A and B are shown apart, each in its own frame.
Chain A
């Protein structure tokens, strides 16, 4: 069966939302803690988090501005659609997004808004990179350029590279690339001499023959042991790509593997789900998961409330 562009786009964002929802309760847990609690975490219990809502927000920027998107457009959207709706403490915001909002409130402009705080490496851009890959399907370079336009507002350094790698890999998967080809395409749009590239390459090596369990080897290869936070883009992107490769690009397997690896599990499972969904299409997302994905509630970004990832996918396809 030939997959349509629309089917891949819908699969990509549905896979992302399913991964976000499946991984949510496993966030910041170790594989051992997950195994002790669920055996294997395979069933969605409740909705997703910031990953899905920020993805919808990023898609709305692309739908409005397309290839002409500028960092100033993105900063303006933060100022008009995010900041005025913050009522008290911001819920579910990633480090980089919150840092950018603080910087924007101080009157700074991009790219300084992504540099002024210390969370430039956050995976906040990687988690919302999929729409750029959908929009620039088959053109990883353009997908990476566009996601960097967005990321310059909130991220710097490796956080931008993590976003570029995911957008590039999704763009390749949208055009029918195999998991191995898609990961290679993601690596192709970031410098070889980068933490993210080294981390992804170490993860790939860890999937080869070796002693001990694969989860343990992956953690040994990419996890920063002496750091209390798990949302480091080089680590999250490497774990997500590894899960996608281990799952052979199959949606359920890739997402479940990512979620059960722990760490920033909602984000890594969302990325793995976006890649696998782009490669296999909407019909490959398990029906029991798809039924759980409704319109988002706007818990993190009120401006996204009521929107459904499948409608957003359709609009992205119409815009290309």
Chain B
């Protein structure tokens, strides 16, 4: 297995995990006509009013069918954008997106773009941000880790605190894996970037402990759910929740995408990005050739319309590694 195969595995694994989580179809529906999403909301209200559990959604009559099939969404697109702009100054790259009304992004990124438009650059753009703790930069860090680069400057544009620590940890873990290191070394490299007195550091150590205790990824699902999520309010993409899940499942699976990603997708509260991060770690460990076939890595443009129809791996080839 070559380093190039492991690099492709990281990106393909992320796309597969991104596709495996239930929120992916919601994100992909963003490319459809607004009326189809309005109908979705109306049918939800109908189901509530009539106390029926059969939800007649998605409903996309006369819409393009490509986005309706299983495939990657927001995380794969933002990672593709990161690869395409990786040589640019990070604040300048993001500033190029301000003023556009066709972009969809996490709250951290939306707020950072507003901050940049207001003249507030990094690190304040990522700090003066209600979702400074989310994992937008952790996803982008897959590209930096694969390229052997430090993700800090990129992460600080949109995030702070746990959001930046998570990005550094992810890049280090991916860096170890694409260099041919074992999963245990990758997890240790990540832990070194996550101090024990931070929430993300503590949560990662808790997640690893409960997953080891459970013994395999599927068995670890309820223990991770109990240990990491407060069940009162779900932020969905908090780095201190999704990265610990990904590292714990990647380790306890022995680096198998086949068992780790489905387990991550079972955690509904983290299913937007924990499967994607899990897929990136396990894909980088096994390499692209060892990954299951049949999972699309083609983007729909649901977050960045210019990426519609492009294969994530085509963007990576020749640019990274």
- Chain A: residues with CB nearer than 8 A to chain B? 95, 98-99, 102, 112, 115-119, 121, 157, 193, 195, 198-199, 224-227, 229, 232, 234
The interface-forming segment of B26-34, B89-97, B124-132, B144-152 is B124-132
Flag if B199 contacts A224 (CB, 8 Å): no
Kindly list chain B residues whose C-beta atoms are within 8 Å of the C-beta of A227. Answer: 107, 111, 130-131
**Alpha-carbon gap, A234 to B128, bound state (A):** 9
Flag if A198 contacts B120 (CB, 8 Å): yes
**Alpha-carbon gap, A193 to B123, bound state (A):** 10
Contacting residues of chain B (128-145) with chain A, CB-CB under 8 angstroms: 128-131, 133
Flag if B107 contacts A118 (CB, 8 Å): no
Flag if A157 contacts B114 (CB, 8 Å): no
Check: B281 CB closer than 8 A to any chain A CB: no
* Contact A95-B233, Cβ < 8 Å, known A224-B130, A234-B128: yes
Flag if A198 contacts B199 (CB, 8 Å): no
Flag if B202 contacts A195 (CB, 8 Å): no
Flag if B233 contacts A119 (CB, 8 Å): yes
Interface size class of B (residues with CB under 8 A): 20 to 34
**Alpha-carbon gap, A99 to B233, bound state (A):** 9
* Contact A226-B199, Cβ < 8 Å, known A118-B235, A121-B130, A198-B128: no
**Alpha-carbon gap, A226 to B233, bound state (A):** 18
From B114, B120, B133, B202, contact of A118 by CB (8 A): B133
From A121, A193, A226, A229, contact of B110 by CB (8 A): A226
Flag if A118 contacts B238 (CB, 8 Å): yes
Kindly list chain A residues whose C-beta atoms are within 8 Å of the C-beta of B130. Answer: 121, 224, 227, 229, 232
**Alpha-carbon gap, A75 to B269, bound state (A):** 28
Kindly list chain B residues whose C-beta atoms are within 8 Å of the C-beta of A117. Answer: 230, 233
Kindly list chain B residues whose C-beta atoms are within 8 Å of the C-beta of A195. Answer: 124, 127-129
Supply 25 A–B pairs (Cβ within 8 Å), ascending by A: A98-B232, A98-B233, A102-B230, A115-B199, A116-B199, A117-B230, A118-B133, A118-B235, A118-B238, A118-B240, A193-B124, A195-B127, A195-B128, A195-B129, A198-B120, A198-B128, A199-B128, A224-B114, A224-B130, A225-B114, A226-B107, A226-B114, A227-B107, A232-B130, A234-B128
**Alpha-carbon gap, A20 to B235, bound state (A):** 28
Check: B161 CB closer than 8 A to any chain A CB: yes
Kindly list chain B residues whose C-beta atoms are within 8 Å of the C-beta of A199. Answer: 128
Flag if B232 contacts A224 (CB, 8 Å): no
Min Cβ gap B203→A in Å is 8
Annotate B81-110 by CB proximity to A: 1 below 8 A, 0 otherwise: 000000000000000000000000001001
Min Cβ gap A303→B in Å is 21
**Alpha-carbon gap, A95 to B230, bound state (A):** 12
Contacts A99-B233, A118-B133, A224-B111 given; 4 further ones with Cβ under 8 A? Answer: A98-B233, A116-B199, A117-B233, A198-B120
**Alpha-carbon gap, A111 to B130, bound state (A):** 20
From B131, B161, B233, B238, contact of A157 by CB (8 A): B161
Kindly list chain A residues whose C-beta atoms are within 8 Å of the C-beta of B124. Answer: 193, 195, 198
The 3 A-B residue pairs whose C-beta atoms are closest, nearest first, are: A195-B128, A226-B110, A102-B230
Min Cβ gap B321→A in Å is 35
**Alpha-carbon gap, A70 to B302, bound state (A):** 50
**Alpha-carbon gap, A117 to B230, bound state (A):** 8
Kindly list chain A residues whose C-beta atoms are within 8 Å of the C-beta of B127. Answer: 195
**Alpha-carbon gap, A121 to B130, bound state (A):** 7
Min Cβ gap B56→A in Å is 27
Kindly list chain B residues whose C-beta atoms are within 8 Å of the C-beta of A102. Answer: 230, 232
Min Cβ gap A259→B in Å is 23
**Alpha-carbon gap, A98 to B130, bound state (A):** 18
* Contact A226-B232, Cβ < 8 Å, known A112-B202, A195-B127: no
**Alpha-carbon gap, A226 to B110, bound state (A):** 7
Flag if B111 contacts A226 (CB, 8 Å): yes
**Alpha-carbon gap, A194 to B130, bound state (A):** 13
Kindly list chain A residues whose C-beta atoms are within 8 Å of the C-beta of B110. Answer: 226
Residue of A whose beta carbon sits closest to that of B110: A226
